Amino acid sequence: MTGQGIVAAGVTFGHFQWTGGFTAIDLIAATTNALNGALLARRPDHYRNFTIVGVILMAFLGGIGGGVTRDVLLNKIPAALLNPAYILLCLAAGIVGYQIAFAAGQLFREGLFQFMTSFSLPWYAIVGAQSGEMAHLPVLGTLLLAVVATTAGRYYIDITSGVPPKQFVRGEWFVVTALLTGLVWVICQDAGLNTWWSAGIPFAIGFTFRVLALYLGWEEPLAKEPTGVYKHSDGRPLLGRKLTGKSHRELEDLGLVVEHRAAGANGHTA
């Protein structure tokens, strides 16, 4: 009984850790993904009348969802539960994302969202690959962990919002970007480069590939189907050439503008 009392009394606020063991990179990834989570929750095609608390929770799903999944797969206590810095930074990013989700005229800030997604995606892939290497996983297991750690947060948000997960629908090489980044990290690590070179080179390659895919409209090929059975959409235009010249009505059809419903006779929206 005395021992149990000492344990209970020993609960603390935790130790904030900002660097060491890829912690800095993991925090960067978690913070930017939390911002992405809040932005995504406010995106018209995902928004489901979420409360402010709901949007903040979406930020946590995006920010630490991938890291928690990664650590659980490795049979470790998630870093986000041991280091309060994760929760603090994700909370701050969620509040910021809630505030800046829309521009004048209720146009969703798609450019900011896609840029931040492109920025955070390689970082999580790098940390996932590094975690697999530290756990002595084989190369294929390490690469799979890099992909899961990178994309799990988006999966949770999409499922919660009731939309098809990004991993399974046409897009700008979302999963492949994570896989490419993890593969480059493994190559750099095997080449004996130091920590920051091993992180910087994969990040530069992954980020550049993702941004080019967005601007130039590179997308995964669709599965072949019998002609006329199902007509696929052209995919959601996002940046660069894929947004140029779009009318307000086209932006509404793409889910990037909030619809303004006309008020009825009783003063309520239709």
Inside any domain, residue 180: yes
How confident is the model at residue 241, as a pLDDT? 55
Give the global pTM: 0.75
Kindly report, residue by residue over 43-70, the tens digit of the pLDDT: 888 989 899 999 999 999 999 999 999 9
What's the number of domains the chain is made of?
1
| 177: amino acid identity, one letter | T
How confident is the model at residue 144, as a pLDDT? 96
Burial class (CB in 10 A: 0-12, 13-18, 19+), 245: exposed
Inside any domain, residue 118: yes
pLDDT less than 70: residues of the chain: 1-14, 21, 104-106, 225-246, 249-270
Inside any domain, residue 90: yes
Inside any domain, residue 263: no
Tokens 């892939």 label which residue? 125
Cα–Cα distance, 208 to 185 (Å, whole number): 15
How confident is the model at residue 11, as a pLDDT? 55
Cβ atoms of residues 78 and 60 within 8 Å: no
Instruction: Give the pair of three-digit tokens for residue 223.
Output: 């599965």
How confident is the model at residue 245, as a pLDDT? 65
- Structural domain including 193 reads 23-216
Q: Which run of H or E residues covers position 80?
A: helix 79-82
How confident is the model at residue 52, as a pLDDT? 92
Instruction: Give the pair of three-digit tokens for residue 208.
Output: 């550049």
Cβ atoms of residues 29 and 120 within 8 Å: yes
Inside any domain, residue 231: no
Phi, psi (deg, nearest 5) at residue 155: -60, -45
